[in-house]
Structure 1
């Protein structure tokens, strides 16, 4: 049975069908964005934490735009990182690039021993509200 009042978005990546999930779902005034990776439109990951994190935030911005939202709508982010120190430094350098006021975003960073794709260094999950 389909859920009423839910709008899902994706990037058309093969793993969306294989695994079976939406990249983002909106219900009411809230958008939940699944853990995003730093892949391009061909599903390729760049080298390095900074490059992957930059592309990850670009993917998040793209999904938000499909709902008429911007990074200003983000209320929470959870960052999963293979290397905490490198991810922390990268996130510090991007805070003002992606958020007008980073102190209005609840942020959690978690160190992990593995992520979905080989070579993946970071994954970011977002909640945004209107």
Structure 2
């Protein structure tokens, strides 16, 4: 089993890591829209937050040895299930996964880790099949 940390301070405080690889499977933890400075990225803009979540997930997948084309399931948690939120988050998801659509669920929740976080996304993936060289 291989663990892929992100370096976020929450990992040590809570006891988790960004992703875990076991066999040919990869699980990416719930990911919020953290900017490179450690602050909330794009407060108030759920679409931009979803895009940032997916960027972080894509980076973790790359570190795991796979990519978004090998994601088999996503779970999307939003703090508001209104039509605008669903459209904005859906557009960000479609931009990343439109060519390789995973099973997906969008769930409305009362709150996330901090009030400015509007969306959290987690992903399950597989490692690409390696073709043995002849």
| TM-score where L is the length of structure 2 | 0.86
Alignment of 1:30-109 (within 5 A): 30-45=25-40, 46-47=42-43, 48-85=45-82, 86-102=84-100, 104-109=101-106
- d(CA) in 1 for partners of 2:81, 2:29: 20
Q: Following TM superposition, by how much is the alpha carbon of 1:42 offset from its aligned partner in structure 2, in angstroms?
A: 2.3
- Structure 2, unaligned stretches of length 5 or more? 128-134
Deviations 1:47-83 (A, max 9, x none): 2101111100000000000022110010000001001
Q: How many residues align?
A: 124
CA contact (8 A) 1:36 1:124 kept: yes
Q: Which runs of 5+ in 1 are unaligned?
A: 1-5
CA RMSD of aligned residues (A): 1.4
Runs (4+) of structure 1 moved beyond 6 Å?
none
Is this contact kept in 1: 2:73–2:123, CA < 8 A?
yes
